[in-house]
């Protein structure tokens, strides 16, 4: 549960009327938080008091017609009750400290601007973009506004995960939705997730599976999953998620040894990049013909264009990309979504 104590840092940043962060903060959280959900937008209408007379417009809620109702019961998920904030003096630090801090800020901003114009000034290397369409781009916002239908508990898990410094590892929400749609399309029952974190994608897949479906969720660190587990339960799908805490290669080997080759419908590979080829080969044996493997981070923020000698993770991904384009066992599509995702269709 998102308790009040956990929500406090968020409330401090997004106080008073704003339930959601600013656009800039949302961008840094890797998501669109400042927008209403798909369902909220669909069930709002703007009216004028007195049947269209003068006065400020007023927004009211209406019941969605059946064809617009989401497939899950909708309810608003409040983060917590905002507490009043004390009045802050204009300067709560000595004037000299404030001036010094401001000067440092100007120097930092100048450095950043120079770095933008001349990227090699930043730490001596050129800094690639985080994704094909920048997360702060209005176009990315438009994509989310016009495609994302996020389950309320997925949204809650996304917000919760984004509170942590490592939250940026979380899968992109539009990408998770694509995978859930594929799972429904192929009527999948058994799926694998290699690299779970708090389980945003594991939960998204579990929601897309039938009640007797199963997600084999592989991770080496249970601490992340412990954060997400209560929300898996709240969504009523925890019985579909079989979390296995050990190196993913070991779990995949155990599945193969247990006679589960060619029994899975879908796999998502999103753990340590150096082992991607091994994960791919094992997952390929585990999924059925017609099954799909989704491989994340195949563009590595653009670094695949020129992998550095000391960057083993990007080299590993680049080698797998080179192999996949020639792999006669599969058809593929490389999609510039998030950090790049390759969809592999087993022949």
Ligand X SMILES: C[S@@+](CC[C@H](N)C(=O)[O-])C[C@H]1O[C@@H](n2cnc3c(N)ncnc32)[C@H](O)[C@@H]1O
Residue 278 burial by Cβ neighbours in a 10 Å radius (0-12, 13-18, 19+): middle
Q: Does 195 bind ligand X (CB under 6 A)?
A: yes
Q: Give the range of 49-57, 196-204, 229-237, 281-289 binding ligand X by CB under 6 A.
A: 196-204
> Residues of 184-216 as b/e, b for ≥16 C-beta within 10 angstroms?
eeeebbbbbbbbbbbbbbbbbbbbbbeeebbbb
Cβ proximity to ligand X, 152 vs 199, nearer residue: 199
Q: How far is the CB of 115 from ligand X (least distance, A)?
A: 27
Taking residues 117 to 136 in sequence order and writing x for each that binds ligand X by CB under 6 A, - otherwise, the string is: --------------------
Our finding on whether 218 is near ligand X (CB under 6 A) is yes
Nearest approach, Cβ of residue 301 and ligand X (Å)? 13
- Binding residue (CB under 6 A) for ligand X from 69, 82, 121, 169: 169
Q: Which stretch binds ligand X (CB under 6 A): 3-11, 67-75, 189-197, 323-331?
A: 189-197
HEC profile of 144-201: HHCCCCCCHHHHHHHHHHHCCHHHHHCCCHHHHHHHHHHHHHCCCCEEEEECCCCCHH
Q: Does 31 bind ligand X (CB under 6 A)?
A: no
Least Å distance, CB 272 to ligand X, is 4
Whose Cβ is closer to ligand X: residue 180's or residue 218's?
218
Count interface residues toward ligand X (CB under 6 A).
Answer: 18
Q: Which stretch binds ligand X (CB under 6 A): 27-35, 124-132, 217-225, 316-324?
A: 217-225
Which range in 12-20, 54-62, 94-102, 163-171 contacts ligand X by CB under 6 A? 163-171
- Residue 197 as a binder of ligand X (CB under 6 A): the answer is yes
Q: Is 224 in the site for ligand X (CB under 6 A)?
A: yes
Q: Does 182 bind ligand X (CB under 6 A)?
A: no
Residue 173 near ligand X by CB under 6 A = no
- 219 touching ligand X, by CB under 6 A: yes
**Could you say which of 150, 265, 270, 339 contacts ligand X (CB under 6 A)?**
270
Contact 341, 134 (CB under 8 A): no
Whichever of 226 and 329 has its CB closer to ligand X, that residue is 226
Q: Is 337 in the site for ligand X (CB under 6 A)?
A: no
The answer to whether residue 271 forms part of the interface with ligand X (CB under 6 A) is yes
Residue nearer to ligand X on the CB measure, 262 or 274: 274
**Which parts of this chain interact with ligand X (CB under 6 A)?**
169-171, 195-197, 200-201, 218-221, 224, 247-248, 270-272
């Amino acid at each position: 549960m998102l308790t009040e104590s956990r929500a406090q840092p968020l409330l401090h940043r997004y106080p008073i009327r704003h339930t959601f962060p600013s656009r800039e903060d949302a961008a840094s959280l890797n998501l669109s938080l400042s927008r209403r959900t798909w369902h909220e937008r669909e069930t709002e209408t703007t009216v004028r008091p007195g049947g269209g007379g003068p006065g400020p417009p007023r927004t009211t809620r209406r019941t969605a017609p059946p064809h617009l109702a989401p497939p899950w019961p909708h309810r608003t998920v409040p983060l917590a009750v905002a507490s009043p904030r004390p009045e802050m003096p204009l300067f709560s630090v000595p004037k000299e400290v404030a001036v010094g801090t401001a000067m440092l800020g100007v120097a930092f901003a100048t450095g950043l601007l120079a770095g933008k114009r001349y990227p090699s000034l930043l730490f001596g290397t050129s800094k690639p973009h985080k994704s094909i369409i920048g997360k702060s781009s209005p176009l990315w916002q438009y994509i989310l506004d016009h495609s994302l239908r996020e389950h309320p508990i997925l949204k809650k898990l996304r917000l919760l995960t984004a509170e942590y410094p490592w939250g940026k590892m979380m899968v992109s929400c539009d990408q998770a939705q694509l995978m859930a749609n594929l799972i429904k399309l192929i009527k999948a029952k058994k799926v694998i997730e290699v690299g779970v974190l708090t389980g945003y994608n594991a939960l998204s897949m579990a929601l897309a599976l039938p009640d007797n479906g199963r997600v084999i969720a592989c991770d080496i660190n249970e601490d992340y999953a412990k954060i997400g587990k209560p929300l898996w339960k709240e969504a009523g799908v925890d019985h579909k998620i079989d979390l296995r805490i050990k190196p993913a290669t070991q779990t995949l080997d155990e599945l193969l040894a247990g006679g589960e080759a060619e029994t899975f419908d879908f796999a998502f590979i999103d753990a340590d990049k150096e082992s991607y080829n091994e994960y791919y080969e094992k997952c390929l044996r585990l999924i059925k013909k017609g099954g799909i493997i989704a491989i994340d981070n195949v563009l590595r923020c653009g670094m695949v264009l020129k992998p550095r000698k000391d960057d083993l993770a990007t080299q590993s991904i680049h080698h797998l990309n080179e192999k996949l384009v020639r792999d006669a066992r599969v058809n593929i599509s490389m999609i510039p979504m998030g950090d790049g995702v390759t969809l592999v269709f087993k022949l």
